[in-house]
């Protein structure tokens, strides 16, 4: 595999694990605030991001490459509001989408068809990730000044199953 592409895939593993810790940190904040539905939604994100990292790890192994396990930067932990959290989720997912697009661009330029195939899954996934986080942010903005409305949304988020 092309060296630059391999390095970038390893960086993506780092980014996915960082994302998982970021969502765990948000989930803990929501749990502290007794918003158990939001905490559960974010805990599901935490688990999903670990799966994303493992997907790339397994792909590199299947290609005979050795994944490099990274040093993970500590995520932000001093959250001050739910609005800050939901805005950060959307902004973060947009950033990840752009990283995936960069990876695809490089895989295309090196005619690495196998990596392009693997990345197509991530491209579809990012559409869903951005759509979900945008929905949550917009819904939250509508109810944020009404605690009863926030509790309804919290309950809805608690029903997330995957």
**Closest CB to ligand FEO among residues 6, 96:** 96
**Closest CB to ligand FEO among residues 93, 112:** 93
69/96 Cα distance (integer angstroms): 19
Q: How far is the CB of 14 from ligand FEO (least distance, A)?
A: 12
Q: How far is the CB of 96 from ligand FEO (least distance, A)?
A: 4
Using CB atoms, what's the residue nearest to ligand FEO? 52
Torsion sign (Cα): 95, 82, 48, 122: negative
**Closest CB to ligand FEO among residues 34, 127:** 127
**Closest CB to ligand FEO among residues 113, 121:** 121
Point out which residues bind ligand FEO (CB under 6 A).
16, 19, 49, 52, 93, 96, 129
Q: How far is the CB of 149 from ligand FEO (least distance, A)?
A: 26
Instruction: Give pairs for 105-113: CB < 8 Å, separation 24+.
Output: 106/2, 106/4, 106/5, 106/8, 107/5, 110/2, 110/5, 112/1, 112/2, 112/5
**Whether 115 contacts 107, CB under 8 Å:** yes
């Amino acid at each position: 595999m092309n060296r630059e592409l391999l390095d970038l895939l390893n960086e993506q593993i780092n980014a996915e694990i960082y994302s998982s810790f970021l969502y765990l940190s948000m989930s803990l904040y929501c749990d502290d605030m007794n918003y158990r539905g939001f905490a559960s939604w974010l805990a599901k994100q935490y688990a999903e991001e670990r799966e994303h990292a493992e997907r790339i790890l397994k792909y590199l192994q299947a290609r005979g490459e050795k994944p490099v396990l990274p040093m993970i930067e500590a995520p932000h932990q001093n959250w001050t509001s739910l609005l800050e959290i939901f805005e950060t989720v959307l902004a973060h997912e947009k950033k990840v989408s752009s990283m995936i697009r960069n990876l695809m661009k490089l895989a295309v330029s090196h005619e690495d068809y196998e990596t392009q195939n693997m990345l197509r899954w991530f491209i579809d996934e990012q559409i869903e990730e951005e759509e979900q986080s945008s929905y949550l942010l917009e819904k939250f903005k509508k109810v944020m000044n009404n605690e009863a409305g926030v509790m309804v949304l919290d309950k809805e988020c608690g029903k997330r199953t995957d």
